[in-house]
Amino acid sequence: MDSELRLGVFLCDCGNTLSKAIDFSTIKTDLENLPDVTYVNISHDLCLETAQKAMQKDIEDKGVNRVVVAACSPELYEKGLISVIQAAGVNPHLLSIANIREQCFWAHPDKTKAAKKATTQIKLALNRARFLEPVEKTRIPVNRDVLVIGGGIVGIEAALELSNLNLKTTLIEKEAILGGKLNQFPNLYPLQVNPEEMLAARLKDITERQNIDVLTSAELIDVNGEVGNFSARIKESNEEVVRNFGAIIFASGYNTQFSSQIYGFELSNNIITQSKLEEILKFSSEVKEIPKSVCFIVDVSGEHSRVSTLSALRNALGIKEKFGSEVCILCRNLKIDGAGLEKLYRDCRNNGVLFIKFDHLPEISKQNGKIKIEVEDVLVSEEQVSISYDLLVVEETSVPPPDSRFLSSALNIGLDTQGFYQENNIHLYPTASNREGIFFAGNCHADLDLMRALTEASNVALNAYQLLAQEKITVEAERVIVDPNKCRFCLTCIRACPHHAIREVEVDHEKMAAQIVDLACQGCGICAVVCPAKAIKCKDGSDEQILSELEPFGEHV
Amino acid sequence: MIIAERKPLEDIQEMITGYKKILILGCGTCVTICWAGGEKEVAVLSSQLRLASKKNGNELAILEDTIERQCEKELIEVLKDKVQQADAVLSMACGIGVQTVAEIFPDVPVYPALNTKFMGMPEREGVWVETCRACGDCFLDKTGGICPIVRCAKGLLNGPCGGTNNGKCEVDPEKDCAWTLIYRKLERQGRLDVMRKYYPPRNFQTVIRPGKIETLQA
Amino acid sequence: MKIKGAFSPDIIAFCCAQSAYQAADTAGSMRISYPENIRVIRVPCVGRVDVLHILRAFERGADGVLVLGCHDEACHHLSGNTRAKNRVQKANTLLQEIGIDGKRVEMFTLAPNQGSRFARIANEVNERIKELGPSPVKSAD
Amino acid sequence: MTNDNVLVIGGGVAGIASASKLADNGFQVYLVEREPIIGGHAASFGCKATETCSQCSVCLVSEKMREVTAKPQISLVVNSEVVRISGSIGDFEVDLLQKPGVVDPEKCIACGICTEVCPCEPKKGIFLPSPEAIPHTYILDRTQCLRFKGAECNVCQDNCPVGAINFEQKPNSKILKVSAVIVATGFEAFDAREKGLLGYGMYSNVLTGLDLERIINGQEWITLPSNGNSPRNIAFIQCVGSRDEYIGHGYCSQVCCKYAMKFAKLLQYQDSEAKVTIFYIDLQTTGKGFGEFYEACKKTIRFIRGIPVEIREISPDELEVKYEDLAKGKIAKENYDLVVLSIGIAPRKDSWDLAKILGINLGNYRFFDTQDTLDSNRTNIDGIFLAGTCHGPKDIPESVAHGIQAASKVIQTLKARTA
């Protein structure tokens, strides 16, 4: 590292507005006689092309190796200034910015105080600059294969799109055949698409692709490693195989489960679940005695689920079309916040489906072979309605795939309060997990209708492609680094890292130490704080840099 | 490993009143791992003591250092010149470390900053629990690997006592009854006959203080 | 070093770059004023603020420390703000042990576009620290 | 001949997401925005957090906007509209018309002198549209600026240190050669004045969801327009302009139940005595973590089925809401100091003009239509894709996801052509 500090300070008076309060020339003279400051310049528009070109030239001519800029907020122009100093041959991490506009001149009307603060802030930026360390970029080879877990429509769609982006994909499915819910649904209302044809077309497409490798009745057991080289242990019809991947996409969907305690009664021949009804509708030709009247009940065990209301509406219309029987739907709030769902609801009504809204749970009893239902219809001033139907179709709760709890702890990826993948607060990045290189799509982590699930499928495909587009990923090496001699291998940092970006590694073949995976690290610095031996250093925001900004106190009036 | 906990600040302040310059010495092994006496805690304690001395107006200079292990004579001898500069040493090691430093530097007063609590393991991040008391005659072969001396409130050898209710200890309802755990473990391994034997109370007489082990320099 | 005139406390504000630092910028560009004796230090995440940094701030003569991060359940690094809350609590007890009022260290949560909230917090804390007076560490020497 | 250029029409959150992903994957993107700044509707929203974040994704918008300036491959073309397009996929030729914005965003350094010297009262003629505006430029409001009211005033132009203001700026047109086009022109909020009986625009304390968003963006707490106090008795009316066949909006706008409940929680966090009532048809309580949010709301918020038909102003601080009390089966009246109309998402009124220019079809309810029901991006013109709410109602993360999907489809389509 260049031993001798040569600080270059570039002040910007923002079109000479800041100079109304801040006397830039005195600051310039003060700075010039500080020991390691080699160059000070004042300009009026450092955010514009001309001034930046001049700045680059100054850096090169004066041999500046640390750049301090006193201007407006780094949030606006940090990236631009970084490319300028990079063009001048200075490492991008050797830039320290003093915010003398938004957080000084504009925020403090009292001009003398604002001027005083500006000088302090420039001095702080100088202090920080003295402790900046360069971070070099390296290119890390990555495995470009992608693992897609779950052979439902979302897994299939993601695999096809990844293949379009010529990434090699391995699609694993627990069951013996691909298709997931597509094999189960009789129709895909509100979309006028036949599920079998849709599935058949996609399966044909998959078989024609050379870069999609399908493993059925295969399950993921465990994954080691980080983004760029995950090694996944997959059990395929009870023999285990280990394969390497660069990214992993979870598309394992959801299961449904009937909970009799919530309803207070068991299933029987005339109380069936939605999935049982879907079987009947699918093989409607073999049904011997057709139910003349069918009643659906929703919003009991899955009050906030889009999927359960959607399957009720879909199956109601299916029955009307196939058997023409009398249909009624009991619900609290119809969940129709999806494309075409309101229209599906209107189609049901136009086909004579009756809708009864309840607030208190209806009483359900059996009477001479029929189901008797007493419900207070809220829309008709809570008048007690008593109806009886041949068949009652009850709602199932959607539950996460059985292995989600196990895989979540094995892979250190979070679950939400219902046990589905992905903590609640990743709303900002819907398909991201807390770990780089692991993505979620479809109903394994959210409650989605088909069109939303397909959108997520192509999102994760593009995210994985963007990560693995090249053989090698350029990444900033050792932005956060563990000193193996000081590391006591107490595992605190490995447990604390929210992105699971720290792994165990052997140091000179006998001592174990923690090591930060640059590709997976997001630079938050939590590990550096929790480390009891102070063995971890962040080059962006190191302890020395932070403490150096506490320096010049006690000089106020 | 050895688990320790920092003493309250007033006790430490009481110890070092009157000294102008002290060396706070951290230990890099067990007490670092249990977040009590590592380099981080040395820095925190020094910062606290500097703040307190500034606040009370008495002048105090603090040298900070952390070495690999304070239970190794050779590693401590190396600190000779640093210790000479200080009027006293505040050791943030377990009791073993404090005594080793005191032994190597007899004319410098050495004070403990931590209370050495027990030998144990982490239950989860930031929580440590005692699992062994070094009673000198390990009993674990008879209890399927669960030590009743430490984990049973009464240290019974032929438990469980009458007070256990569905697996919880009568002394502290939060705690599992060690003997119920032992019973379930042995049942699981099909070795319940081990519990049928009667084990006489321990003869703690045999433990002469301080314990010593001599191995031939082979 | 006698402090003449009204006491204007030195307050350090550790600001998370994802939220609080931008809220300070927003306050500035909305020309909402807040006391100038609040010094903003930009950290990559509020989880980067260590108890040691807080103690060192008081050693260097700060009268109050503010730790400002993302709202609960909105931290880009999941546990950053919860850990910061625990550390501020620990800093309170450590300061209380020395006889410095624990209320001199406080944590608040913000979103990047809440400029007026940043200014309101800054003004409120400034008044509170004014009542507490200068830090006992500073006025002694 | 396919070049690596892609045109994104509309700088809202979906357009930004598409542009950002395309730029990351080696494409040169022209992001064309009609307004002087990007961000669209979502950029004017405010944070609705109480003690915990209420996951409204508004802070996602400012983060995405800054990505645009950080990526050199994205060239921002503001104040511009597409007037003509010709050619086909891989070889489109697009004519843009750039209205004179008077302030040149490339030159403006947002120093603030022009606002200081501007003589307009009470509202300045030239100002920074929002603290997080991208491009970070001042804009001239023709309705305020005296010069456009006949006065001979050049004060700001003369004082601008970098000469970014030029009143003589002429509209100029540009030709772009692109391989694909992503339409992300967004939505128009339903104009609540169309429901005359609800008194929006007449009574000061009848606001829409959009008004609340603007208030919360500017200040920390919501205050009543009539007297500036914190509202104590608030009513939210859902499905205003949504699920309404008579005005051709027979769809659920998907976002109103969510933002209404988040505002309700914020109002009660702001003032624990505040009483909130929500009039609804069907509460849409779906979405990750929103079920629990609704369960918490049920404890403190009163939910009434049925949509009020009329609001009368008894005094500027008191409104009377007339609705059908379903339980008793008769008309009831209640007084509130603030009524919020949860307006929905409607297609832009001028979507027909852009459809004519691009040659793409309008679907039902006049949102843009897609070619195949299973593909929510490809339009009937090969090479033109849809992103965001111009294709149908979406919330912020879904618009971003739809934008990313559009980018993914563009990359796959162009890759297939060159392979």
Cβ–Cβ of C56/A550 closer than 8 Å?
yes
A3 exposure class (CB count in 10 Å sphere: 0-12, 13-18, 19+): exposed
Confidence of residue B207 (pLDDT cuts 50, 70, 90): low
Instruction: Quick: pLDDT tens for A159-211.
Output: 999 999 999 999 999 999 999 999 999 999 999 999 999 999 999 999 999 99
Question: Which of C28, C113, C120 lies closest to D47 in CB terms?
Answer: C113
Q: Provide the percentage of residues in chain D whose pLDDT is more than 70.
A: 100
How high is the pLDDT of residue B125?
Answer: 86
Give the residue ranges of DSSP H helices in D88-163: 113-117, 155-159
Distances from the Cα of B90 to the Cαs of B25, B27, B83, in angstroms? Answer: 6, 11, 11
Segment A347-358 mean pLDDT: 93
Cβ–Cβ of A107/C24 closer than 8 Å?
yes
Handedness of CA A31, A33, A34, A40 (dihedral sign): positive
Confidence of residue A399 (pLDDT cuts 50, 70, 90): very high
Instruction: Quick: pLDDT tens for A290-336.
Output: 888 999 999 988 889 999 999 999 999 999 998 889 999 999 999 99
The structural domains of chain C, with segments of one domain joined by +, span 11-134
How high is the pLDDT of residue D391?
Answer: 95
Residue in the structure block whose two tokens are 């310049």: A41
Cβ–Cβ of D132/C114 closer than 8 Å?
no
Q: Which chains touch C (3 or more CB pairs under 8 A)?
A: A, B, D
How high is the pLDDT of residue B205?
Answer: 67
Cβ neighbors of D54 (< 8 A, separation 6 or more) are D48, D262, D265, D266, D293
How high is the pLDDT of residue B41?
Answer: 95
Cβ neighbors of A315 (< 8 A, separation 6 or more) are A186, A274, A277, A278, A281, A296, A393
Distance in Å, alpha carbon of A417 to nearest chain C alpha carbon: 13
Tell which D residues from 272 to 291 touch A, by Cβ distance under 8 Å: 280, 282-291
Q: Which residues of D touch A75 (CB under 8 A)?
A: 66
* Domains of chain A with CATH codes: 7-135 (3.40.50), 146-254+400-472 (3.50.50.60), 256-398 (3.50.50.60), 478-538 (3.30.70.20)
Cβ–Cβ of D59/C112 closer than 8 Å?
yes
In the predicted model, is pLDDT for residue C50 greater than 90?
yes
Is D307 at the interface with chain A, CB within 8 A? no
Tokens of A111: 């001009």
Instruction: Quick: pLDDT tens for A39-73.
Output: 999 999 898 889 999 999 999 999 999 999 999 99
Q: What is the DSSP letter of D317?
A: T
How high is the pLDDT of residue D1?
Answer: 52
The residue in chain A having the minimum alpha-carbon distance to the alpha carbon of residue B1 is A490
In the predicted model, is pLDDT for residue D256 greater than 90?
yes
**How many beta-carbon contacts under 8 Å exist across A and B?**
31
How high is the pLDDT of residue D235?
Answer: 96
Is A543 at the interface with chain C, CB within 8 A? yes
How high is the pLDDT of residue D2?
Answer: 67
Mean pLDDT of chain D: 92
Give the lowest-confidence range in A325-329, A401-405, B208-212, D305-309: B208-212
In the predicted model, is pLDDT for residue A94 greater than 90?
yes
Q: Provide the percentage of residues in chain A whose pLDDT is more than 90.
A: 64
Residue in the structure block whose two tokens are 């807390």: A434
Confidence of residue A555 (pLDDT cuts 50, 70, 90): very low
* Domains of chain D with CATH codes: 5-99+171-187+347-418 (3.50.50.60), 190-344 (3.50.50.60)
Give the lowest-confidence range in A306-315, A363-372, C52-61: A363-372
Instruction: Quick: pLDDT tens for D45-55.
Output: 999 999 899 98
Where in chain B is CATH 3.40.50.2300?
2-118
Segment A362-378 mean pLDDT: 87
Listed as own residue / partner, the contacts of B135-140 with beta carbons closer than 8 Å and 24 or more positions apart are: B135/B202, B135/B204, B135/B207, B136/B206, B136/B207, B136/B211, B137/B202, B137/B206, B139/B199
Q: Which residues of B touch C97 (CB under 8 A)?
A: 8-10, 48
Distance in Å, alpha carbon of D52 to nearest chain C alpha carbon: 5
In the predicted model, is pLDDT for residue C140 greater than 90?
no
How high is the pLDDT of residue C5?
Answer: 58
Q: ipTM of this complex > 0.90?
A: yes
Q: Provide the percentage of residues in chain B whose pLDDT is more than 70.
A: 98
Segment A470-478 mean pLDDT: 91
Q: Cα–Cα distance between D86 and D390 in angstroms, integer?
A: 22
pTM: 0.92
Cβ–Cβ of A76/D136 closer than 8 Å?
yes
Distances from the Cα of D24 to the Cαs of A77, A462, D18, D408, in angstroms? Answer: 19, 10, 10, 11
The residue in chain A having the minimum alpha-carbon distance to the alpha carbon of residue B35 is A532
Confidence of residue A554 (pLDDT cuts 50, 70, 90): very low
Question: Which of A108, A428, A538 lies closest to C36 in CB terms?
Answer: A108
How high is the pLDDT of residue B214?
Answer: 82
The residue in chain B having the minimum alpha-carbon distance to the alpha carbon of residue C97 is B9
In the predicted model, is pLDDT for residue A536 greater than 60?
yes
How high is the pLDDT of residue A556?
Answer: 39
Cβ–Cβ of D289/A427 closer than 8 Å?
yes
In the predicted model, is pLDDT for residue C24 greater than 80?
yes
Closest CA to A460 of A140, A148, A145: A148
Cβ neighbors of A242 (< 8 A, separation 6 or more) are A231, A232, A233, A234
D23 or A268, higher pLDDT: D23
How high is the pLDDT of residue A426?
Answer: 59
In the predicted model, is pLDDT for residue C1 greater than 90?
no
Handedness of CA B145, B150, B153, B154 (dihedral sign): positive
Laid out side by side, the sheet with D318-325 consists of: D310-315, D318-325, D330-336
How high is the pLDDT of residue A100?
Answer: 92
Q: Provide the percentage of residues in chain A whose pLDDT is more than 70.
A: 97
Mean pLDDT of chain A: 90
Is B125 at the interface with chain C, CB within 8 A? no
Is A511 at the interface with chain B, CB within 8 A? no
Is A504 at the interface with chain D, CB within 8 A? no
How high is the pLDDT of residue D325?
Answer: 86
In the predicted model, is pLDDT for residue A88 greater than 70?
yes
Instruction: Quick: pLDDT tens for D2-40.
Output: 689 999 999 999 999 999 999 999 999 999 999 999 999
Distances from the Cα of A411 to the Cαs of A87, A400, A436, in angstroms? Answer: 41, 16, 12
How high is the pLDDT of residue B204?
Answer: 67
Q: Cα–Cα distance between D158 and D164 in angstroms, integer?
A: 10
Cβ–Cβ of A524/C44 closer than 8 Å?
yes
Cβ–Cβ of B32/A490 closer than 8 Å?
yes
Instruction: Quick: pLDDT tens for B79-110.
Output: 999 999 999 999 999 999 999 999 999 999 99
Residues A217 and A176 sit within 8 Å (Cβ to Cβ): yes
Name the architecture of domain C11-134.
Answer: 3-Layer(aba) Sandwich (3.40)
Instruction: Quick: pLDDT tens for D115-167.
Output: 989 998 888 999 999 888 999 999 999 888 888 888 888 899 999 988 899 98
Segment B41-62 mean pLDDT: 93
Cβ–Cβ of C98/B55 closer than 8 Å?
yes
In the predicted model, is pLDDT for residue A244 greater than 60?
yes
Counted residue by residue, chain A has a size of 557
Tokens of D197: 């009986």
How high is the pLDDT of residue D13?
Answer: 95
What CATH code is assigned to B2-118? 3.40.50.2300
Q: Provide the percentage of residues in chain B whose pLDDT is more than 90.
A: 64
Is A354 at the interface with chain D, CB within 8 A? no
Instruction: Quick: pLDDT tens for A413-424.
Output: 988 888 898 876
Give the residue ranges of DSSP H helices in D71-145: 113-117
